[in-house]
Amino acid sequence: MRLKSKLFIGAGLAGLALWFASAPRGLTPGNWLPVEPDLARGEQVFNIGGCASCHMAKDAEGNERLVLAGGQAFATEFGTFYAPNISPSAEGIGGWSAFDLGNALLRGVSPDGAHYYPAFPYASYTRMAPQDVAYLKGYLDTLPPVATANRPHDLPFPFNIRRSLGFWKLLFLKNGPVVASDESRGQYLVEAMGHCAECHTPRNLLGGLDSARWLAGAPNPEGKGRVPNLTPGGDLANWSVDDIAYYLESGFTPEFDTAGSTMVEVVENLSQATPEDRLAIARYLKGLPALPNAPKP
């Protein structure tokens, strides 16, 4: 065989391997357990998961926070993402089953089998329990339907190739616990549902979370300043469990300064969680490996 055709076959095989490696991998329908609807639990998942913060209109208040037509823009170093419509309409996710929502949240895969971009924090949601996804779907179906078409993301090459996210997922989509913790509920709320690490953990060049610096603070993706270090070695070193829980409920620090930036929205959501869940989050954070703040750039 001539060298040229050997190379040709080699490249073809490599291409085929890459194509399979990058394929979207959804859940298998068999491991999906349907549950009895429970709207109260669904609402808890909705609030702790913070769905409204990204999918409502920017700065919406009161009942407008439940209108999930999408459209908010998120400018990142990879391009600008636009939150999709997740209201129960034809343009939103009205036609989806709980299984479809599970594929989106736990695997980052759409009902037509394409990868979602990880601006949608499925790298955290992947640790969620399937029954919580099913409760959430039941609750989302009770919200007002809106017929707003989704705006396509505005991404430059090569980030506009969705298939390439298959490789990103091979590297960064992991569903085990990140750190050892005695506080299992708090761990679940922080690492999975609340997706705190998406902002509070620094990312590497490929946009994956740096688990060696878990929750130790990060540059602010929206510009100035930095997102606080939540480990006992950083900004919260002198906060008690009660201080953290009170902050998550009220937005007041122990110094009675107020939450700022996007944390305002998070507090709005968590103020509706149960006191036990806020305490569980606080206990998990107090038990984290203490890491110092990153040096100022």
Partner 1 sequence: MNFRKTTLTTFTVFAVAASAFAASHSPITERQEAMKAVGGQMRTLGGMAQGKIEYDDLIAISALETMRDAAATAQQRFPEGSDMGAETRAMAAIWATDSDFDARMTQLIANLDAAIAAEPADVASFAPLFGAVAGSCKGCHEKYRAPEE
What SS3 string covers 85-139? CCCCCCCCCCCCCHHHHHHHHHHCECCCCCECCCCCCHHHHCCCCHHHHHHHHHH
**Of residues 178 and 199, the one with the C-beta less far from partner 1:** 199
| Least distance to partner 1, CB of residue 267, Å | 9
Provide the token pair at 20: 């399979």
Told to check if 261 binds partner 1 by CB under 8 A, we report yes
CB of 205 to partner 1, least distance (A): 25
Angle between helices 263-270 and 39-49 (to 10 degrees): 160
Measured distance CA(52)–CA(58) in Å, rounded: 10
Q: Which is nearer to partner 1, 72 or 253 (CB)?
A: 253
Q: Which is nearer to partner 1, 78 or 246 (CB)?
A: 246
Find tokens 């937005």 and name the residue. 251
Residue 271 sits in the site that holds partner 1 (CB under 8 A)? no
211 lines the binding site for partner 1 (CB under 8 A): no
- Residue 20 interacting with partner 1 (CB under 8 A): no
Report CA 105 to chain centroid distance, whole Å.
Answer: 8
The contact pattern for partner 1, residues 215-254, with x = CB under 8 A and - = no contact, is -----x---xx----------------x---x---xxx-x
Q: What burial class does residue 102 get, using C-beta atoms within 10 Å of its C-beta: 0-12 exposed, 13-18 middle, 19+ buried? A: buried
- Decide: is 114 part of the binding site for partner 1 (CB under 8 A): no
Least separation in angstroms between CB 237 and partner 1: 17
Does residue 264 touch partner 1 according to CB under 8 A?
yes
* CA angle (290, 294, 297) in 5-degree steps: 175
Q: Which is nearer to partner 1, 30 or 297 (CB)?
A: 297
Q: Site residues (CB under 8 A) for partner 1?
A: 220, 224-225, 242, 246, 250-252, 254-261, 264
